[in-house]
Amino acid sequence: MLDVIPMEDYKWQTERPEGYKSYAIKNTYSDYNVTVDANGFLKAASPIARLSAAPEHMQADYLGGGFAQAGCVAVNGEAAGVSAERISTGVYQLNGSLGLAEEGWTIEVPQDVNGNRLCFVETATDSDGVITVKVSKRRFDIDTAAIVAGEAMDIPEGRWIDLRLAMPVCGETEALPPETDAVS
């Protein structure tokens, strides 16, 4: 992403003919409030994890925008402390969060150029917030006319699954007592 420019440097102003000024609030997006998902689209940012089968084979943008690798996942600053491991073919486990976000988007699956999802993804969160992600081939079920989970597969090479997380609230920092001058 581009360099971050402080918000105080952004001001939009229009002047009315009568001399009155009106201000319009505009949203400015940067790597502090959005992320680029696995398909190249901007998404509202919050704690985000980019789950990959083989981080060592990912492109440079996988760790771009302040993401750091933690096992087979890259996390942004708000998701610090989250890690993931590959349990078996198509099965991944994320630890360190409270689970998926409770509002807004929660998961983004990689797609091809036509918008077709490259895999089928199921998630489950246990009572401790551990997220289990199961990835499988897509299969068309003729009885229900739906895409369902097929044979287990790993996340396609060079792609990742975006997960928007719920994180524990950071504990309040304890105020230090004011410094006192030593009396001699």
Nearest of 163, 162, 137 to residue 150 by alpha carbon: 137
Q: What is the pLDDT of residue 30?
A: 75
Choose between 81 and 4: higher pLDDT.
81
d(CA 122, CA 117): 13
For 98-127, write each residue's pLDDT tens digit.
Answer: 999 998 889 999 999 999 999 999 999 999
Contact 50, 59 (CB under 8 A): no
pTM reported for the whole predicted model:
0.73
Mean pLDDT of the chain: 84
For 23-55, write each residue's pLDDT tens digit.
Answer: 667 777 777 677 788 788 887 778 999 999 999
Contact 133, 51 (CB under 8 A): yes
**Which of 17-21, 39-43, 136-140, 172-176 is least confident?**
172-176
Q: What is the pLDDT of residue 1?
A: 46
Is the pLDDT confidence value at 62 over 50? Answer: yes
d(CA 58, CA 38): 11
Residue 68: beta bridge partners?
75
Q: What is the pLDDT of residue 45?
A: 74
SS3 61: helix
Contact 34, 65 (CB under 8 A): no
Is the pLDDT confidence value at 179 over 70? Answer: no
Nearest of 68, 70, 73 to residue 51 by alpha carbon: 73
For 136-152, write each residue's pLDDT tens digit.
Answer: 999 999 999 999 999 99
